[in-house]
Amino acid sequence: MWYNFFGTLNTIFIIISLYGVLSQLQTILRRKRDPQISSASSILSLNQFMMSFFAYYCFFIYGYSIEPFNHFIVWPRLIATLLVGAILYEIWRDRRNSATVVCFILATIAFGLGLIGLFNGEKLEDGGKVISTGIILIVTASLGQGYYHQIRLIITRGQTGAVDLKMSQFILMMDISTIAFALSMGIKTGWPLLVLAIVSASTKLVIMYLFRWVRLSESAKARRALFATG
């Protein structure tokens, strides 16, 4: 009973978390329209958003590669992949450097291959548990590294720039429901998902705290001043 309850709840919060990703995209677009802001994507970590793209992308691939086809995994992740892809596009348009070009091209190619696989891919009937565990652990490491880079950027510059608070808040809600869902599965079965959710939730809590730190800390104020003069 608890497995079905928390599984449904987790799916709902995954869908809700999409609003957080959309909010980040809207923040970039809003900053683009402001003539007083020189960089619409300031402080945003290209590393973090590239890792987020591939995190959603990996689950999208996994959801249609297993038998039976998992609609609850595939379609929310497809939407999230598109939204994060749009964020990568806006970062590229804002910065116009080689790193953003490479990331956007890689994301575009990967997305195209993913769509081809969606309509033509073969089902992975054997070894599904091993494959899913491997994907989740790779995603966990990638997300942890990506968000560490974002956190370091905020601390170094003493400002949050274009980082959107709502994105962290909504994804944190999803992470909490994922922790509950993983526990309902039992530690032996749900530990990879539990590790992913704990790592993700921890990074969101740190970023949310840094929004307060940026407002109140004299250290953050000094770093902003140093960056502005540098």
pTM, to two decimals: 0.83
- Can you give the residue range of the structural domain that contains 109? 2-32+42-229
pLDDT tens for each residue of 97-111: 999 999 999 999 999
Maximum distance among all Cα pairs of the chain, rounded to whole angstroms: 59
State the total domains in the chain: 1
Residue 160 amino acid letter: T
Tell me if 125 sits within 8 A of 67, measured CB to CB: yes
What's the token pair of residue 36?
């007083």
CA atoms of 220 and 230, how far apart (whole Å): 15
User: pLDDT band for position 126 (50/70/90)?
Assistant: very low
**Tokens, residue 192:** 């990879």
Domain assignment present for residue 175? The answer is yes
- pLDDT per position as a tens digit, 46-78: 999 999 999 889 888 877 876 778 787 788 889
Cα gap 229→15, rounded to integer Å? 42
Computed over every residue of the chain, the mean pLDDT equals 89
Identify whether 37 is part of a domain: no
Question: Do the domain assignments include residue 74?
Answer: yes
